[in-house]
């Protein structure tokens, strides 16, 4: 082979190596981007703010995905169609997607109809809430037909609640379709005295939503900043990475008064771990 031919081949190999290295770098970058957890807000956080004031704050924090969990949209006092349609328009104009609707307890067929209707009006494909007995089967059948999913939400109350532990949720999901899953609130899991990382591990195949919340101690609902309580938030988010969770991690901060600085800190903290 001539000297010129050898140089040409060497240059071609160098170009191939360079292109291959760039392509590999892009692939790794895309994989890392895809693996990042999605950080959003559970809108009960802003229950003391008007809808417009809440949207302004979400926009300032560059939040693009939420779960609608404001009290005036729950089933206890059902919202009107216009309330849902107006909220969806405002979210759309602000570049915010309402990916999940928090219904609270679905007690009967009327509640089930409302949950499906309001989720549709808000543009949500998931509903978080709770139900017991025959309603679980009705939700499974109806939501499957509607193309929705349902996440059973664990909760801490001073009185006994149906879903306090991961095992409570798993028992309710036994034999159900993939329509049915879990909305894991790690703050409430900690409040009920259970290990949050263990809860992620056990519920991983069923997770539809995760609520990021931290509490000062079990047996109460004293919210503290993420990472400053007993909910093991860094370890929870590490475990979410391990189980390849791809849904929304919705920050919920249940405090009164001016919470702007606290929520900004929570978003910053969560994004660093995402």
pLDDT in tens, 46-91: 999 999 999 999 999 999 999 999 999 999 999 999 999 999 999 9
Do 30 and 72 fall within a single domain?
no
> By residue range, what is the domain housing residue 25?
1-35
Do 94 and 129 fall within a single domain?
yes
Do 125 and 7 fall within a single domain?
no
pLDDT in tens, 189-198: 999 999 999 9
The CATH number that applies at residue 255 is 3.20.20.150
Do 165 and 130 fall within a single domain?
yes
Do 65 and 189 fall within a single domain?
yes
Q: What is the pLDDT of residue 155?
A: 97
Do 143 and 201 fall within a single domain?
yes
Question: Count of domains in the chain?
Answer: 2
Do 190 and 91 fall within a single domain?
yes
Q: What is the pTM of this model?
A: 0.87
Tell me how far apart the alpha carbons of residues 61 and 147 are, in angstroms, rounded to a whole number: 31
Do 131 and 71 fall within a single domain?
yes
Do 3 and 57 fall within a single domain?
no
SS (H, E, C) 208-222: EEEEECEECCCCCCC
- Asked if pLDDT for residue 22 goes beyond 50, the answer is no
Is the Cβ–Cβ distance between 209 and 128 less than 8 Å? yes
Number of helices and strands in the chain (H, E): 10, 10
Instruction: With CA atoms as reference, report the closest residue to 208 among 237, 250, 257, 175.
Output: 250
């Amino acid at each position: 082979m001539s000297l010129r031919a050898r140089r040409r081949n060497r240059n071609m190999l160098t170009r191939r190596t360079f292109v291959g290295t760039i392509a590999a770098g892009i692939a790794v970058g895309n994989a890392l981007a895809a693996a990042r957890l999605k950080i959003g807000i559970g809108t009960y956080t802003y229950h003391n703010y008007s809808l417009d004031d809440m949207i302004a704050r979400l926009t300032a924090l560059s939040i693009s995905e939420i779960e609608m969990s404001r009290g005036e949209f729950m089933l206890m006092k059902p919202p009107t169609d216009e309330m849902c349609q107006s909220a969806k328009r405002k979210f759309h104009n602000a570049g915010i997607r309402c990916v999940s609707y928090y219904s609270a307890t679905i007690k009967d067929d009327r509640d089930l109809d409302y949950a499906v209707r309001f989720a549709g009006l808000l543009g949500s494909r998931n509903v978080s809430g709770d139900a017991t007995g025959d309603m679980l089967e009705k939700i499974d059948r109806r939501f499957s037909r509607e193309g929705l999913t349902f996440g059973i939400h664990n909760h801490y109350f001073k009185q006994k609640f149906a879903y306090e532990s991961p095992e409570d949720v798993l028992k309710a999901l036994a034999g159900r379709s993939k329509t049915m899953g879990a909305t894991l609130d790690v703050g409430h899991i900690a409040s009920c005295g259970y290990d949050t990382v263990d809860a992620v591990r056990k519920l991983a195949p069923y997770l539809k939503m995760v609520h990021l919340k931290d509490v000062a101690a079990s047996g109460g609902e004293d919210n503290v900043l993420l990472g400053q309580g007993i909910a093991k938030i860094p370890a929870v988010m590490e475990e979410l990475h391990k189980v390849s969770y791809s849904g929304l991690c919705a920050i919920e901060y249940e405090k009164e008064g001016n919470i702007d600085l606290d929520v900004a800190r929570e978003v910053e903290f969560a994004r660093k771990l995402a």
